[in-house]
């Protein structure tokens, strides 16, 4: 089986509270990405500090941590060719006003602060974020029966 990229996607508290978990998952599945891990959780302040460490010291850091720890999230790992790039396209621009129609944020979000979903912005970020939220044992390795139809390979 060919090794494909993995990326980290998180449905944020506003996405969970608005009942959009299925919508987000459906859009990623319809693209052909494969879900390899998922869990619902409430993020601790410690985990939030690790996840958003690059933003520490910025004016929005405290509100970011407060927001992401305010309710349950759905943490997921998705796999596929160019998974990071494709998932970022599906998610849309950080500012929903600049996100293209047809993207998750373009169709469903209004606020930059509450923009429904987080997606890794690079392979390095994906690897770091996956390790923060999942153990190696939680990552399921399997083959979709539809992969030959998605990728055109046998």
Report pLDDT digits (tens) over 127-143: 999 999 999 999 999 99
Catalytic residue, from 118, 129, 133, 134: name it: 118
Domain boundaries, the chain: 5-141
Calculate the dihedral angle through the C-alpha atoms of 54, 59, 64, 65, rounding to the nearest 10 degrees: 80
The C-alpha atoms of residue 63 and residue 92 are separated, in whole angstroms, by 22
pTM for this structure?
0.94
Q: For residue 55, indicate whether it is catalytic.
A: no
pLDDT band at residue 54 using 50, 70 and 90 as cut-offs = confident
Residue with tokens 């933003």: 55
* CATH 3.40.50.1980, domain 5-141, yes or no: no
Rg (CA), the chain: 15
Tens digits of per-residue pLDDT, 17-49? 999 999 999 999 999 999 999 999 999 999 999
- Mean residue pLDDT across the chain: 95
Q: Which two tokens stand for residue 52?
A: 């958003």
pLDDT at position 2 is 63
Which 8-state DSSP code applies to residue 112? Answer: S
Q: Answer whether residue 50 shows pLDDT above 70.
A: yes
């Amino acid at each position: 089986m060919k090794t494909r990229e993995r990326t980290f996607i998180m449905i944020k508290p506003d996405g969970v509270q608005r009942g959009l978990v299925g919508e987000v998952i459906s859009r990623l599945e319809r693209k052909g990405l494969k879900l390899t891990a998922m869990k619902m959780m409430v993020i601790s302040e410690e985990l939030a500090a690790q996840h958003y460490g690059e933003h520490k010291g910025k004016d929005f850091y405290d509100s970011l941590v407060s927001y992401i720890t305010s309710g349950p999230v759905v943490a997921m790992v998705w796999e596929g060719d160019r998974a990071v790039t494709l998932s970022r396209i599906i998610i849309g621009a950080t500012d929903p006003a600049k996100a293209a129609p047809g993207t998750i944020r373009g169709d469903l979000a209004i606020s930059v602060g509450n923009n429904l979903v987080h997606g890794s912005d690079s392979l390095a970020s994906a690897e770091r974020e996956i390790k923060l939220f999942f153990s190696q044992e939680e990552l399921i390795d399997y083959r979709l029966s539809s992969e030959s139809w998605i990728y055109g390979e046998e």
